A and B are shown apart, each in its own frame.
Chain A
Amino acid sequence: MSKTIKVDYLARVEGEGALYIRIKDDRVTQVQLKIFEPPRFFEAFLQGRKFTEAPDITARICGICPVAYQMSSVHAMEQLLGLKVEGPLRELRRLIYCGEWIESHGLHVYMLHAPDFLGYADALQMARDYPEVVKRGLKLKQIGNELVALVGGREVHPINVRVGGFYSVPRKKDLVPMVEKLKWARDAALETVRWVGTFDFPPVEPEYEFVSLRHPQEYPFNEGRLVSNKGLDIAVDDFENHFEEEHVPYTTALHSVIKARGAYYVGPMARYNNNFDLLPSGVQAAAQEAGLTSFCRNPFQSIIVRSVEILYACEESLRIIDQYEQPDRPYLEAEPRAGVGHGISEAPRGSLYHRYRIDDQGVIQEAKIVPPTSQNQKTVESDLYQVAVQNLHLPEDQLTWLCEQAIRNYDPCISCSVHFLKLHLERH
């Protein structure tokens, strides 16, 4: 007996994609995560643009994580130009990234993912039964947005980030009003960790290779080496020697693999597992109180990890604002020279790689961008296979929803990966 279950357009993810699962004689025979988002060709039209334009242009790849694109691009360019952005400018970059993590994780935890665990189609329906919870989520997300807008000018596609620093920097007194809000957000984040810790998690614990940045002193945003729990430890420049992209027919996103080993996992869970020791003790304690250990392999528990990262981002923001002193200059001068630069930063959804080659006039000759969602695509497919196999007994609508939830574990950003979702479950 064979069968097909279908969902044509996966909801509560950013962008357009579908899933296709084929079941024959109670065996899962095929799993395809299809991305039908039309391609936009960023790497192609970056050719011929000035190196200074990369942060503004690549931000437009994703409206949910534009800061990530801006950060990976400016770090790649600065590596190329031999610029080292330090002190308060470096701290401001971490601060704007904290804002993006709070905003993006807040959106995903409360509006996109929690409704799955509680059985609602969306957060607005959830708000009828849990009005105070949804309001808390919205306010948390709003504070993240305010932080991005304060440093970057606006929440979507900030205008203030440039190669070498910022166009203008805030005065200390501009940042101070955020302190009370961030203290509220820190408490709300702690309540969020406790709340999501009470959800039911399907027992799935695959053997992943978790890949993320690791920095010797701090939980990573913009700097460090790329490491994994299976021995990977490389400089950012070495990325393409260890990873490659495959083009498969059913998707407009490219699949990434670690050479010789295959699928891997990027995102909050990878960062958490590779950097648990670098989290402040209070944040570690909150994670443990919510049922995590220092290493988490259940992809459904990523909602706890995301909440833990919101808590971290609130604490880190408060630290940065407390220690901030306005720098003398908003940016370092960036004079073009020919060369190649690489940058990886930790987008809310995972490591985001950029490489640029520019000429001596500063004109981009070649660009390569590897977003987190395309790196996770193969891993999402293997999760789906496992979830489908374990739950073949479920009624069709429940199995379909569970598979959707398994995809949303990754907070996939399809707009990013196209350079991605619909759901077809097929039982034969």
Chain B
Amino acid sequence: MKRRPKLAVWKFASCDGCQLSLLDCEDELLALTERIEIAYFMEASRATVRGPYDLSLVEGSITTPYDIKRIQKIRRSSKFLVAIGACATAGGIQALRNFTEVEKYLPLVYARPEYIHTLEKSSPIAAQVPVDFELRGCPINKIQLLELISAFLQGRRPNIHPYSVCWECKMRGNICVMVAHGIPCLGPVTHAGCGALCPTYQRGCYGCFGPKETPNPASLSARLRALGVPEDDLVRLYRTFNAEAEPFRQESAAHE
């Protein structure tokens, strides 16, 4: 029998939701393990297989000096390394610390801040080591995760589109919440992948999947301003789970 490729799942600062998406593939999980060996996945198993690994899925952002060393070691033992989710691709919600001084945060949460070791900034995986692919979303979409693993097994590029949420919204046949109801929506600048969930539920997109390819957030902001969105709300709108993604970071700063 041909050797099954080895899959490893790694966690950094995160909520565990993206790696949970793998366990949420209830229909596919057992079949998947026939094609790929789950060699390292601490959330699911106390058994671990030594590297090197053929495919590493990395969840979470880098926030401690120790984690910088850990990701470098993981990179060295991984043939393909894929960052999964907004924490790993853009620093996550915890990157909100990058817009202030982290020393100010510590005493707000911890009575004895001297016990805590942390970096000033929360950074995406690609800021520390070369990354072979980034799967977006807060959380990632499990169908896209399966597509990614299938593509890896077949030796092809994953069929994941970098266009906007608006595309998915139109394909679903939704009525535009911004045009029809004046609801502020980040759909025009946000990377597809969720299936335009929020507009389908009558709310504006809030940007979980981060910026699409070549976005034009300045133009969207002008429209949002015309809808009556105040400047400080614009800052908040771009500054959530993908706050550190460059186009969103710049646009939020422009309204400060």
Given contacts A38-B64, A138-B26, A142-B26, contact A49 B17 (CB under 8 A): no
Residues in B whose Cβ lies below 8 Å from that of A47: 108
Binds B, one of A83-91, A150-158, A306-314: A150-158
Interface residue? A63 (CB, 8 A): yes
Among A10, A16, A43, A66, point to the contact of B11 (Cβ < 8 A). Answer: A16
Minimum CB–CB distance from B58 to chain A (whole Å) comes to: 14
Contact between A153 and B201, CB atoms less than 8 A apart = yes
Residues in B whose Cβ lies below 8 Å from that of A153: 197-198, 200-201
Residues in A whose Cβ lies below 8 Å from that of B29: 124, 138
Residues in B whose Cβ lies below 8 Å from that of A159: 197-198, 201, 203, 206
Interface residue? B45 (CB, 8 A): yes
Identity of the chain A residue whose Cβ is nearest the Cβ of B102 in the assembled complex:
A41
Interface residue? A11 (CB, 8 A): yes
Given contacts A111-B23, A252-B116, contact A44 B44 (CB under 8 A): no
Given contacts A14-B43, A121-B46, contact A155 B118 (CB under 8 A): no
Among B12, B30, B42, B201, point to the contact of A38 (Cβ < 8 A). Answer: B12
Interface residue? A388 (CB, 8 A): no
Interface centre among B67, B93, B94, B115 (most CB of A within 10 A): B93
Residues in B whose Cβ lies below 8 Å from that of A19: none
Q: How far is the CA of A57 from the CA of B95 in the complex (A)?
A: 13
Minimum CB–CB distance from B44 to chain A (whole Å) comes to: 5
Interface centre among A38, A112, A127, A141 (most CB of B within 10 A): A38
Interface residue? A216 (CB, 8 A): no
| Residues 19-66 of A at the B interface (beta carbon under 8 Å) | 37-45, 47, 49-50, 53, 56-57, 60-64, 66
Among B12, B46, B64, B240, point to the contact of A11 (Cβ < 8 A). Answer: B46
Residues in B whose Cβ lies below 8 Å from that of A37: 13
Residues in B whose Cβ lies below 8 Å from that of A154: 139, 194, 197
Q: How far is the CA of A39 from the CA of B94 in the complex (A)?
A: 9
Contact between A45 and B20, CB atoms less than 8 A apart = no
Contact between A39 and B118, CB atoms less than 8 A apart = yes
Interface residue? A81 (CB, 8 A): no
Residues in B whose Cβ lies below 8 Å from that of A139: 26
Q: How far is the CA of A317 from the CA of B19 in the complex (A)?
A: 27
Q: Which residues of B contact A (CB under 8 A)?
A: 11-21, 23-24, 26-27, 29-30, 33, 38, 42-47, 63-64, 67, 92-94, 96-97, 100, 102, 104-106, 108-112, 115-116, 118, 138-139, 194, 197-198, 200-203, 206, 208, 233, 236, 240-241
Minimum CB–CB distance from A35 to chain B (whole Å) comes to: 11
Residues in B whose Cβ lies below 8 Å from that of A10: 42
Given contacts A63-B139, A122-B45, A138-B26, contact A156 B17 (CB under 8 A): yes
Q: Which residues of A contact B (CB under 8 A)?
A: 9-16, 37-45, 47, 49-50, 53, 56-57, 60-64, 66, 107, 111-112, 121-125, 127, 131, 134-135, 138-139, 141-142, 145, 153-157, 159-160, 162, 166-168, 245-249, 252, 254, 330, 401, 404, 413, 415, 419
Residues in B whose Cβ lies below 8 Å from that of A121: 45-47
Contact between A57 and B93, CB atoms less than 8 A apart = yes
Residues in B whose Cβ lies below 8 Å from that of A160: 201, 203
Identity of the chain B residue whose Cβ is nearest the Cβ of A162 in the assembled complex:
B203
Q: 8 closest pairs, A vs B, by CB?
A: A63-B17, A122-B45, A121-B47, A11-B46, A44-B105, A142-B26, A45-B96, A156-B139
Among B21, B97, B194, B203, point to the contact of A167 (Cβ < 8 A). Answer: B203
Residues in B whose Cβ lies below 8 Å from that of A61: 15
Identity of the chain A residue whose Cβ is nearest the Cβ of B27 in the assembled complex:
A142
Contact between B236 and A50, CB atoms less than 8 A apart = yes
Residues in A whose Cβ lies below 8 Å from that of B30: 124, 127, 131, 134-135, 138
Given contacts A44-B105, A124-B38, A145-B24, contact A60 B15 (CB under 8 A): yes
Contact between A40 and B201, CB atoms less than 8 A apart = no
